[in-house]
Structure 1
């Protein structure tokens, strides 16, 4: 057994222990403990963190013998990442770098002839899996995105932007090419980090013959709709029918205010011969995404939410049987929400990932049920102190997956379905981690104010000594319905925080998936209520431990987590000595007037500030209404291109802190959005983050 698989096995913990998380008597509040591996003598630093390779699973060879994966490596000097493709045997062995050219490659398809088709600089390329000369297959003006070839190889499906509305002055007034003005008559004028210039990504289909591409046909016929979805949709929004006679695409066919107020995407089927389009999800009102045909082509599965406007609704797996023409919800009676899925090779079940009890695990659901309307049997098939990310493929009693822990970045693994164990296939970062001292991670349960059991992950510094006292950080998660599990972040990295000498606690407060649909839903319209009390319960409980320095406790977070920090600043009653908020919501009234996806604000807050039914959201649950009680040093990060939580939020909070004579600092990132994507900017972020903690904690 290699080192990584041994580590993964050692980290396994009993699901029955988690299931029994409400004992009548509790002596030791720490319920889940992972063994500490003191691998090296160095501590994680921001520089070491960004020197790690970032692994992405790209595909499995047709014969099932090799995995193709990407590794992105960051250069501090050039301030950019370089991604190349690599190949490694599934059974184990040395990895080989497959591409070397400057510029990111992404796999489109693995062929039965042993070739890898991949996108490089907007064109389709081919190269033998066994090695050899790469061959450019296409040379299309403006390039290709999200490419999918038809099963018979005669057609190509791809996307590219189309100018539909002349919102930008240089498009509207040809004689003023150097002007830079935007003109709008409706909403959806900006999204995420860019203003709408009137260009919409559209799906195109064309004939394809040995690299020769025919005249592309726009399947949306120049309409102002996005497919793939904006801003994060991709090739998963497209699918070919098994007979190559039709294509499927995901689209929200709404414009302007209707687009900003709705989550109702649908899956459309376009027939090549007749040029007819059919809405396969007519009457299904929430997100419908990720269409995938069964291996025999007789069934179609996709992910679906029920409620229009609720972006964090329970996600179910729906199948459509072409013979019976029935839609079936495979996970309707299961108390959870699906992340992603694949079909089994025999088409009798689907494997999927879902958050559960502070982790993300593997599940399966069979297509047969014992009784009519009795529901389909969902079974959890993995458990352990790790997250499962992507499921790449099923292969001979194993699933090829990506996996992380709080102290290990993503690698590719084989999960043995019988042995219930992980085996490492890639070991990209083993050498780096071999020199870094491990940090201990434990699970902990706390009684919330309403009597519910509240789970948290706790990360301890290297060489933790329970006889010493440590400064402690409460981490407030964003979303607000995002899960706090065992994912590995290159910015909010808890291994890094612990390595600087801090204990960090990550509560699974109200609103997070993995603890039932109700728990996940309970944060909506209660942002400043029970979720904030959950945070206080978790930190108060941990603070009772003798190794927590009660005079040195801080709270940090981003997005809803940043909002939480702003809220806690007014209600914490002396618990915290330092606060850090990244792109947090400060004034709910002004935020409602400037954010872009209004369906989110309408559902989670209740609606606009002028509706008296939502008064509590804009008073009791509005951080700006509690500024009179602010008395704690605060650091505020704000992205200049963040249109989800626009710049005024961070600036207003900083100005309030300054006028109240509080020690405060603003770190403004003019070119960043809701995240920090530039490597050097991320280094500044880390230095300011830890510098502030040294000053104030």
Structure 2
């Protein structure tokens, strides 16, 4: 073990600025039995509605850019308190930057909604401190430090304490079950002599020489010690019930490609720092969890190394190493979250088609019983109280983005607790539903359709297709509008909108996710073509007025549509999309993941199909106007993919435009850029699809 630095676990001498913590019971609205609280809520709701965009009865880009989204939700064991984080976008008059992440507490007995961390500070990863009536979280405070540190507050949202002073900032953290230790991960600092050179301008990035590993630290009293070697990166960890062992997921490389494809699940004993194999796994790994008695270990992982998702449930008896896949063979779903109910029973939340469900399965395997879900409420995780009957979750529906809900397994009922986007009550949304059709080989394909508000089956409507990325992403039949996928905004402007779950998508098990292997851009894209034909046959759309807009792999679909299938598409928009499979493999940060789990084929094993399935290979036969957009700081799909596509389009005199968004990674994080992109989508489609 390596001796570390001292940290002070005492409250800082500081004032109590409102944006750090403080009682605030009138911000988002909470259902409660308290008459006084309800009265104040009614007044505030009326004020919010009167000042919001009620006059705009239709959703517009500014509305979408201003949505507040609930993220993580944690329910206390006693079922009386919960905490949640919420994404709060910056206002138009604020400095350029990303969203804030605020943290709030709800006292379920009184209905009080208490502000703990508010903008311009940001918080993440709320967790209850075992054995203490305190809530821990990771916070970035621009007034005091930029590197995230671990703090905690009491049930009143007060008595703030700082638990770490990690020089490079805390990435993940967890208190031991007995509350005696704090484990966290931190990226190694540059060696002192290297940092001095970098400060002098010698800040070159040299492949193979400039890796900085992420190590696991454990804090006991006021001393933190590094528990993992300096040549190993820790991506995830989970305390055992005995508070002496941890499961740690590690790699010897530092990149995302290593994390997704080559991680190992090890067991660390903090008493002597010994590491040993805990569970066999291959490919992608997700949620990890110990049984209550510590004798078993469960986790989500891939069926095989070429499975694009960690969607199988594995159980290992501690000390045996061998992992048993207990996922029912006939189960068509993608588990995303896992927890123990007791030593013999696991619960999981899964994507199931375009819906979600909470299920229970014996650790020995067998039928996965549906406990709750399969309806309008969409949730991707759950936080239970000690009774295992009451749980809290971020839940979205067709009519609103994620809010805090309570679910009760006794009666199967939901209770909504927060109302962070009240203006939506005055917005008219298009009708939304899940449809299905047959792919080119008879495979059943699903998709989510959103219709214009005045929709009538007369076949006159233009169609906007919004393919998800991945390709292992999933279009869900809940809230379906965000800046890169503005479904309801397009519906408001007269488009039928289709979000297809083509083969290769998640939500239907490993077999479906792997059904596009060695055929990217082949039958999976013909699934989309068949969806267009189905909607035309049903009298919903004009097949001569079809546009497509997608991001990442969805951007590849858009570029592929506008080139190889130019005769079927009036316009295309690609954001951060792939255009040349061969050059993409030479510039992306995930070459192994893309080759092994999606292509199931290395490009040099069959250069012909990689080139043939590249949009730039089919430009000479195309005439579809293509809007090309990309973030300048994208490491996943290098901006050269869009620059290359745009230049080839121009050289072939095809209508195009290139938009580069400064500072943006593999997505859009800034308000102005989000609004700009949505407005460009509307303008491009109105110009080349409607007209």
Q: Decide: shared fold, TM above 0.5.
A: yes
Candidates 528, 537, 544, aligned match of 2:537 = 544
1:218-297 map, 5 Å: 218-223=226-231, 225-228=232-235, 237-254=236-253, 263-282=261-280, 284-297=281-294
Which residue is 1:207 aligned to? 220
Q: Distance in 1 between matches of 2:435 and 2:652?
A: 37
Q: Distance in 2 between matches of 1:514 and 1:287?
A: 16
Which residue is 2:361 aligned to? 365
* 1:509 pairs with 2:522: no
Q: 1:680 to 1:546 in 2, by over 3 A?
A: same
Q: What does the per-residue CA deviation read over 1:320-359, in whole Å, with 9 as the maximum and x for residues that have no partner?
A: 2348876432215343454333434434322212222222
* 1:331 pairs with 2:327: yes
Which residue is 1:670 aligned to? 662
Which residue is 1:96 aligned to? 114
* Alignment size in residue pairs: 623
1:537-686 map, 5 Å: 537-572=530-565, 574-603=567-596, 604-611=598-605, 613-619=606-612, 621-686=613-678
Q: Tell me, yes or no, if the aligned pair for 2:186 and 2:215 is still in contact at 8 Å.
A: yes
Q: Distance in 2 between matches of 1:104 and 1:261?
A: 26
Q: What does the per-residue CA deviation read over 1:283-324, in whole Å, with 9 as the maximum and x for residues that have no partner?
A: x3323343212233332211222433x361452222223488
Q: What does the per-residue CA deviation read over 1:255-278, in whole Å, with 9 as the maximum and x for residues that have no partner?
A: 79x965971211111112222111
Q: Distance in 2 between matches of 1:593 and 1:501?
A: 41
Compare 564-573 and 316-325 and name the one that shifted more: 316-325
**Deviation, structure 1 residue 516:** 4.0
Q: Distance in 2 between matches of 1:175 and 1:50?
A: 38
Partner of 1:501, secondary structure, is coil
Compare 52-61 and 334-343 and name the one that shifted more: 334-343
Which residue is 2:337 aligned to? 341
Q: 1:475 to 1:105 in 2, by over 3 A?
A: closer
TM-score, normalized by length of structure 2? 0.83
Q: What does the per-residue CA deviation read over 1:155-205, in whole Å, with 9 as the maximum and x for residues that have no partner?
A: 221111114789xxx92873871234222258xxxxxxxxxx422221111
Q: Distance in 1 between matches of 2:248 and 2:202?
A: 36
**Deviation, structure 1 residue 117:** 2.4
Candidates 150, 161, 168, aligned match of 2:187 = 161
Which residue is 1:124 aligned to? 150
Which runs of 5 or more structure 2 residues have no equivalent in the other structure? 1-28, 32-53, 141-147
Candidates 57, 74, 86, aligned match of 2:89 = 74
Q: 1:174 to 1:448 in 2, by over 3 A?
A: closer
Q: Tell me, yes or no, if the aligned pair for 2:430 and 2:453 is still in contact at 8 Å.
A: yes
Partner of 1:84, secondary structure, is strand
**Deviation, structure 1 residue 664:** 0.9
Q: 1:566 to 1:81 in 2, by over 3 A?
A: closer
**Deviation, structure 1 residue 437:** 0.8
Which runs of 5 or more structure 1 residues have no equivalent in the other structure? 6-38, 187-196, 229-236, 369-374
The CA RMSD measured in Å over matched residues stands at: 2.9
Which residue is 1:459 aligned to? 450
Q: Distance in 2 between matches of 1:177 and 1:100?
A: 37
Partner of 1:145, secondary structure, is coil
**Deviation, structure 1 residue 676:** 0.9
Instruction: State the 4+ residue runs in structure 1 displaced beyond 6 angstroms.
Output: 323-326
Q: Tell me, yes or no, if the aligned pair for 2:279 and 2:322 is still in contact at 8 Å.
A: no
Q: 1:593 to 1:126 in 2, by over 3 A?
A: closer
Which residue is 2:26 aligned to? none
Q: Tell me, yes or no, if the aligned pair for 2:377 and 2:397 is still in contact at 8 Å.
A: yes
Q: 1:638 to 1:165 in 2, by over 3 A?
A: farther
Q: 1:172 to 1:420 in 2, by over 3 A?
A: closer
Which residue is 2:440 aligned to? 449
Q: What does the per-residue CA deviation read over 1:33-77, in whole Å, with 9 as the maximum and x for residues that have no partner?
A: xxxxxx997111111122222212342223211211122221222
Q: Tell me, yes or no, if the aligned pair for 1:386 and 1:486 is still in contact at 8 Å.
A: no
* 1:524 pairs with 2:521: no
Q: What does the per-residue CA deviation read over 1:88-137, in whole Å, with 9 as the maximum and x for residues that have no partner?
A: 24478453333446311232324544222233233333322134442334
Partner of 1:651, secondary structure, is helix
Q: Distance in 1 between matches of 2:196 and 2:166?
A: 28
TM-score, normalized by length of structure 1? 0.83
Q: Tell me, yes or no, if the aligned pair for 1:114 and 1:130 is still in contact at 8 Å.
A: no
* 1:690 pairs with 2:682: yes
Which residue is 2:176 aligned to? 150
* 1:56 pairs with 2:74: no
Which residue is 1:390 aligned to? 381
Q: Distance in 2 between matches of 1:385 and 1:496?
A: 21
Q: 1:326 to 1:572 in 2, by over 3 A?
A: closer
Q: Distance in 2 between matches of 1:164 and 1:83?
A: 29
Candidates 177, 180, 205, aligned match of 1:182 = 205
Q: 1:140 to 1:632 in 2, by over 3 A?
A: closer
Q: 1:40 to 1:297 in 2, by over 3 A?
A: farther
Q: Distance in 1 between matches of 2:376 and 2:228?
A: 45
**Deviation, structure 1 residue 693:** 1.7
Q: 1:327 to 1:656 in 2, by over 3 A?
A: closer
Q: Tell me, yes or no, if the aligned pair for 2:562 and 2:624 is still in contact at 8 Å.
A: yes
Which residue is 1:477 aligned to? 468
